Amino acid sequence: MDEVYLLLGSNMGDRQRFLNEATRLLQERAGTRLKRSSIYETEPWGHTNKKNFLNQVLLVETSLNPYELLKVIKAIETKLGRIRKNQQYIPPCIDIDILFYNDEVYFSDDLVIPHPRLHDRMFTLVPLNEIAPDYLHPILKKTIRELVNLCQDKLMVKKYLKNTATK
């Protein structure tokens, strides 16, 4: 079995419900959830949309290879109402990114692992640091804790107080 870190994000509608439903569908279709971070409310990064996101990181054990996992993730996003148009950014009801797949590195037109910008984004690093502070980035050779300390992103990331997600 392989271990995968996933970032979930939502900034439309009932954001927490989208995170919970995505988690449930990932457990049904992708594998067993081993850990999950708290839910964090975060300012939008690089977008003009002013609505804050809810973000959460999951550690999932899966038998799917990275490409099969990506297919499942896209199907879940579509099922939950995600619309993609010609690679344009449309605010997501749910967005699921593969951050790490074991300690492997993938570069293809369809898939880049580790996520190429995770070290620049506190909305990813803070929840990841909560559940995997000592995880070593396979390319940068720094722990998540070190990456948090080096990150220049100053956007707000705070624990979401309405976190009533089921365990």
Q: How do residues 2-37 score in pLDDT, each as one tens digit?
A: 999 999 999 888 999 999 999 999 999 999 999 999
CA 68 – CA 122 distance, rounded (Å): 28
**Domain range for residue 145?**
2-159
Question: Is 164 among the domain residues?
Answer: no
Mean pLDDT of 134-142: 98
- Its pTM stands at 0.90
Residue 37 belongs to some domain of the structure:
yes
Please indicate, yes or no, if residue 166 is contained in any of the structural domains. no
Contact 128, 37 (CB under 8 A): yes
Number of structural domains (the chain) is 1
As a whole number of Å, the end-to-end CA separation of the chain is 22
**CATH code at position 99:** 3.30.70.560
